[in-house]
Structure formats: C-alpha cells, structure tokens
Structure 1
Amino acid sequence: MKTWILPALGTLVCWGFWAFIPKLTTRYISPMSAMVYESMGAMVIGAIVLAVLHFRPDVSGKGIFLALATGMLGMAGGLCFLFAVRSGKVSVVAMFTSLSPLITIALGYLLLNETITLKEGLGILTAFIAIYLFSAS
C-alpha cells in the first residue's frame, strides 16, 4: 500500500464529517459563533501536535508565513462554508465546494509546472459536469 493512502483516507473521513456537522451546528448558533468554537477545536489539535513535537516546531520565515496564510485561508473558507451551509442544502454546498481541488490543480500546473494528463483532464471535465448536474436541481 502506498504511504499516502492511509492519511488521505483519514482526510476523506474527517473532511466528510467536517462538511456535514456545520449544517447541524448552524441550526443552533450563528456561523460567526460557530467559527469561534471551531477555532478552539483547532487549537486543541494544534496543542496536541505541539506536544508531540516537544514544543519545538520547525522555524523558517517562509514556512511560517506560508503556514499562517494557509491557516487564515482555511478558516476564511470555513467561515464562508458555514454561511453557505446555513441556508443551502449540505449535499449541494459540499459538492460545490469540493471542486476546490480544481484551483489547486490549476495552481500546480501554472506555478509548479505539474502536468495534467488526458485522463486527469477528463476527470476534471466530469467534475464540472457532476457539479452542474448536482446543483441544477
């Protein structure tokens, strides 16, 4: 088994629940309040990782900047997701937002010179078709 499969499976499961639970959460509290509590949950995971690292994370100016930017973008996206799922169907919002890897693929192609095979291109096309069919109802 390839070494990336198990962590990717963990991501799939966690993000699947991550996309569903806010629909329930925003029935009881506002998206902005939910973001506050989600941030606290993230801090718990951060504290556990910090302890595993014996309170000595790697230090690199560029790495820290990029990690902070990633965290800010993730939380901003999470807040937008909370507002979307509050009024939209969780199935449609989750499917629509699951197209975010297309931005990643485009950035990899444009900035990192990663290639896109014909097979991958067809997969991208079918993703667009799927989201159109799923959200057109």
Structure 2
Amino acid sequence: MIEDLLAGLLGVLPPLPGTGRRRRRQWRNFEAGRVVTFEAGVLGAEPYCRPEIGVLNLSRTELLAAPSGGLGATGRKLPMERIEVVLVRDRLRSDPKGIRPHWRVAECRDEDAVVLLGCAPGRMELLLHALRRTPGR
C-alpha cells in the first residue's frame, strides 16, 4: 500500500525486493491452470461496475471480480469470452478513483458496453494474456 502511494506521488520507483518473484510465481500458477488473484479495478455499466478497488480472480477459463479480500474462486463472473480489448494505456487524471494512479488501464468492449480494467503493469500483462490478446509473455 505504501509502495502504491509513493509510486503515485513520485512517478517511477525501482521494484522492491521480491516483487519479481511474486510475479513469476503468479505466471507459473496461471500457466498451471490455477486461479491467480491480484488487486484491480473494474469499472463500467452494470454488471461490471465495482466503484471500489477490489481484486480479480483470474484463471485460463474464468475472470471473477470480487471486493477486496475476495480470494479464491469468489466474485462476480465477467464474460471473458466476450470482452474485447480496444486500448491499453496509462491511467488518466479523468479516470475514476477506482483505478490507482500508477496502474495501466485496458479499455474494453462487451458488445455496446464500455468496461475499464485497471491493475498494476505486471498484472496487466497477465490479464491481457488471459484474454488472449498477446502472444506469449
């Protein structure tokens, strides 16, 4: 949490020791078919809107949005197969507060609905891979 605050205020901070290990462990768990959980914001029209920062529970077959502390396979299922990534960008000042200042934002569409998925840059890579929008890592 303190790292998030400092990164938002100071711009770019060097990674803290151990953060690369955690990311690699999440990749291995994801590739093994397990659920990976990370902090994220999901914003958009119903049923997507979750105005507070929560977590995404992500596997190869499911994407679940849950309030903070929602671990494992809990949360509201998002239609992973219908979500189309339109643009990936840095957070803008005009973005809602449900997206932290240093996060990346994926602007997505589900038919006519606009959905914003925000998370840390390393987790965004994992999310895009799960949505089958990037080849490999």
Class of the TM-score when normalised by the shorter of the 2 chains: under 0.3
Q: Which has the higher strand share?
A: 2
* TM-score of the two chains, using structure 1 as the length reference: 0.24
* TM-score of the two chains, using structure 2 as the length reference: 0.24
Higher-Rg member (1/2):
1
Q: Which has the higher helix share?
A: 1
